[in-house]
């Protein structure tokens, strides 16, 4: 499903654009784009624009990256014209593609389209663009069995059992990258192992001695991985495999880089549809300490967090089920504890993606938590299944304008984020009054009465029929008449 351009624009501008304004608060960018919560003073140390990185870890044919190209172009021009930056206009297109834009997808074809799209954009800016190195890569590549590269890791080093297991596990994840894509974790796994040794080193002398050795292992791990891949490529006579191995090296680089912004419209696959390998991988990597394993989109939220640096931003769109359902409690707790909700659009059921009805929310989270302002929510759920449903986009754009211009709007809500913790399981209930929220602090219904399920057939297809399907004479009027069918009040079809 392709994210509509106006949503992409909103997410890129309110993540990357806001970050730029944090560095250059008086930039004209804020007059030309709708960026909420733009700071009036500098709140971020500027870094050269060619070092600002954005990744879309499920980029498809590059919707987000293509818009980000245009946006970055404006930022470079702003840098040249207003901040004396030493860039040549003729170099900008290549600079953007080679330094600012990063993308991964499982789908080889989609990646080819993304690269082509970027190439056309670059060509429009400069006809003699030359060769371009893309950081947009497919995870659909081939790697040999671990035994064929084992000696690269093990020669001349004394690896302990844990390290050997870690290498084999990461290698096996990489071999399955055609299935796991950008969800493969490398740095994170070595860091986890290092933290475990650090923990033990506190009160165990042997572990303390191990620590330095583990630190150097963690530092050289990525280098050894790419060396293994390269050495294999050199020995292989198959040029197709060799070019795929080059993809594997780019993929490794992308996985072990930190980004300023991660943005995505990730896949929405429920755990029951994972298949055994993916299920095992997700349980292994996205279940602890917080449960992100209930849906692929939840795993991608965690992945986007891990991809970004400590004051990075995460801009995503996916189903809004995580806002309230118990199985996503950990996802909410993670978000509320670890990030500031800069903007959150509760779009809800709509034709946002064309003919397929979807139930999305989109938002920008900021990892830097110091002195955050209230979280801003836009409520469009209230228009679901009403005549206004088809005007949600216009209602949203008006709410955005009003929020920026500080004008009252019935769809805008601001709330100190901490208040979301006051209701058990931390559902994202942002629209109620403080007075009503206080009521959730009173004791639960369970403390006063037994709460239990009402009537349940346990197999509706087998035991239930509609009243008009049988003769009125066979429907029981009272218990003693022992007729075959008994009336049963059912709640009707499932409604969220
Ligand atoms: C909902 S589409 C969004 C595509 C594009 N970002 C957009 O907004 O138009 C999700 C994309 O995720 C890709 N995908 C699914 N699982 C993935 C994984 N584990 N790693 C990387 N990409 C994945 C699919 O191939 C698909 O292109």
> 304 C-alpha to center of ligand 1: Å?
13
At 485 the pLDDT is 93
Whether 114 is in the pocket of ligand 1, judged by its Cβ within 6 Å, is: no
Cβ atoms 75, 47 nearer than 8 A: no
> 55 C-alpha to center of ligand 1: Å?
13
Torsion over CA: 240, 246, 249, 250 (sign):
negative
pLDDT digits (tens, 9 = 90+) for 31-54: 999 999 999 999 999 999 999 999
Q: What angle do CA 405, 408, 413 make, to 5 degrees?
A: 100
> 301 C-alpha to center of ligand 1: Å?
13
pLDDT digits (tens, 9 = 90+) for 454-475: 788 888 889 999 989 999 989 9
Contacts of 436 by beta carbon, 8 Å cutoff, 6+ apart: none
Q: For residue 148, give Cα distances in angstroms to 87, 175, 188, 423.
A: 46, 13, 25, 54
| 243: number of Cβ within 10 Å | 11
> 419 C-alpha to center of ligand 1: Å?
34
Q: What is the mean pLDDT of each run of 10 residues along the chain (496 residues)?
A: 92 98 96 96 96 98 98 98 96 97 97 97 90 94 84 76 83 91 86 74 68 74 78 69 76 93 96 92 94 97 97 97 96 96 94 82 91 91 91 96 97 97 96 95 85 84 90 90 88 60
HSE-CB at 456 with a 13 A cutoff on CA atoms is 4
| Three-state secondary structure call for residue 71 | helix
Residue (of 254, 255, 259, 262) closest to 15 by Cα position: 262
At 241 the pLDDT is 62
> 79 C-alpha to center of ligand 1: Å?
32
**DSSP secondary structure of 342-409:** EEEEE--SEEEETTEEE-EEEEEEES--SS---EEEEE-GGGTTSGGGGGHHHHHHHHHHHHHTT---
User: How far is the C-alpha of 95 from the C-alpha of 93, rounded, in Å?
Assistant: 5
Whether 360 is in the pocket of ligand 1, judged by its Cβ within 6 Å, is: no
Q: What is the pTM of this model?
A: 0.88
For ligand 1, atom 6, the nearest C-alpha belongs to 59
At 188 the pLDDT is 78
User: How far is the C-alpha of 46 from the C-alpha of 23, rounded, in Å?
Assistant: 5
> 385 C-alpha to center of ligand 1: Å?
29
For the record, the structure tokens of 323 come out as 């806002």
At 203 the pLDDT is 67
Q: What angle do CA 434, 435, 438 make, to 5 degrees?
A: 85
On the 0-12 / 13-18 / 19+ scale of CB atoms within 10 A, 483 is middle
> 277 C-alpha to center of ligand 1: Å?
18
Q: For residue 150, give Cα distances in angstroms to 154, 215, 284, 483.
A: 6, 21, 23, 74
Q: What angle do CA 311, 69, 101 make, to 5 degrees?
A: 50
Whether 350 is in the pocket of ligand 1, judged by its Cβ within 6 Å, is: no
User: How far is the C-alpha of 353 from the C-alpha of 393, rounded, in Å?
Assistant: 12
Residue (of 388, 380, 437) closest to 411 by Cα position: 380
Whether 249 is in the pocket of ligand 1, judged by its Cβ within 6 Å, is: no
For ligand 1, atom 3, the nearest C-alpha belongs to 265
At 119 the pLDDT is 96
Helix (H), strand (E) at residue 313? strand 308-319
Atom of ligand 1 nearest to the CA of 2: 9
Whether 248 is in the pocket of ligand 1, judged by its Cβ within 6 Å, is: no
Residue (of 216, 308, 304, 237) closest to 265 by Cα position: 304
Whether 1 is in the pocket of ligand 1, judged by its Cβ within 6 Å, is: yes
> Which of 266, 270, 360 maximizes ligand 1 atoms within 8 Å of its Cβ, making it the mutation to test the pocket?
266
For ligand 1, atom 27, the nearest C-alpha belongs to 60
Alpha-carbon radius of gyration of the chain: 27
At 343 the pLDDT is 97
> 376 C-alpha to center of ligand 1: Å?
27
At 349 the pLDDT is 86
Q: What angle do CA 162, 164, 166 make, to 5 degrees?
A: 70
Atom of ligand 1 nearest to the CA of 180: 19
> 29 C-alpha to center of ligand 1: Å?
30
Cβ atoms 340, 365 nearer than 8 A: yes
On the 0-12 / 13-18 / 19+ scale of CB atoms within 10 A, 256 is middle
Burial track 69-106 (b if 16+ CB lie within 10 A, e otherwise): bebbbbbbebbbeeeeeeeeeeebbbbbbebbbbbbbb
């Amino acid at each position: 499903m392709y994210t509509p351009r106006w949503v992409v624009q909103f997410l890129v501008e309110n993540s990357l654009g806001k970050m730029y304004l944090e560095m250059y608060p008086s930039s004209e960018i804020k007059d030309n784009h709708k960026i909420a919560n733009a700071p009036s003073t500098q709140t971020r140390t500027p870094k050269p624009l060619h070092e600002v990185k954005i990744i879309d870890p499920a980029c498809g044919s590059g919707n987000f990256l293509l818009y980000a190209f245009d946006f970055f172009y404006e930022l470079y021009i702003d840098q040249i014209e207003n901040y004396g930056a030493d860039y040549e206009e003729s170099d900008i297109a290549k600079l953007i593609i080679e330094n600012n834009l990063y993308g991964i997808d499982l789908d080889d074809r989609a990646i080819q389209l993304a690269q082509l799209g970027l190439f056309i954009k670059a060509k429009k800016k400069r006809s003699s663009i030359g060769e371009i190195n893309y950081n947009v890569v497919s995870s659909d590549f081939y790697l040999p069995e671990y035994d064929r590269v084992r000696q690269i890791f093990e020669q001349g080093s004394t690896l302990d059992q844990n390290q050997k297991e870690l290498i084999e596990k990461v290698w096996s994840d990489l071999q399955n990258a055609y299935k796991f894509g950008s969800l493969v974790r490398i740095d994170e796994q070595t860091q986890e192992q290092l933290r475990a040794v650090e923990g033990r080193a506190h009160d165990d002398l042997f572990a303390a001695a191990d620590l330095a050795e583990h630190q150097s292992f963690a530092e050289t791990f990525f280098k050894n991985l790419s060396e293994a891949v390269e050495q294999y490529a050199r020995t292989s006579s198959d040029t197709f495999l060799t070019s795929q191995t080059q993809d594997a090296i780019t993929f490794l680089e992308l996985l072990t880089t930190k980004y300023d912004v991660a943005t995505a419209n990730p896949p929405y696959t429920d755990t029951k549809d994972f298949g055994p390998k993916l299920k095992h991988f997700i349980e292994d990597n996205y279940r602890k300490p917080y449960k992100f394993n209930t849906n692929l989109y939840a795993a991608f939220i965690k992945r986007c967090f891990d991809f970004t640096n400590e004051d990075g931003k995460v801009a995503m769109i996916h189903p809004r089920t995580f806002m309230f359902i118990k199985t996503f409690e950990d996802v909410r707790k993670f978000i509320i504890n670890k990030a500031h909700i800069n903007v959150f659009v509760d779009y809800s059921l709509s034709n946002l993606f064309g003919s397929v009805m979807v139930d999305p929310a989109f938002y920008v989270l900021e990892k830097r938590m110091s002195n955050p302002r209230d979280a801003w929510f836009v409520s469009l759920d209230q228009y679901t299944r009403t005549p206004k449903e088809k005007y949600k986009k216009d209602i949203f754009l008006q709410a955005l304008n009003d929020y920026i211009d500080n004008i009252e709007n019935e769809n805008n809500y601001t709330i100190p984020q901490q208040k979301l913790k006051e209701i058990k399981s931390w559902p994202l209930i942002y629209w109620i009054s403080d007075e009503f929220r206080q009521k959730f602090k009173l004791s639960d219904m369970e403390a006063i009465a037994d709460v239990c399920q009402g009537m349940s057939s346990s197999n509706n297809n087998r035991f239930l029929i509609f009243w008009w399907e049988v003769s009125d004479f066979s429907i029981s009027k009272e218990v003693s008449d022992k007729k075959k069918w008994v009336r049963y009040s059912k709640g009707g079809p499932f409604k969220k």
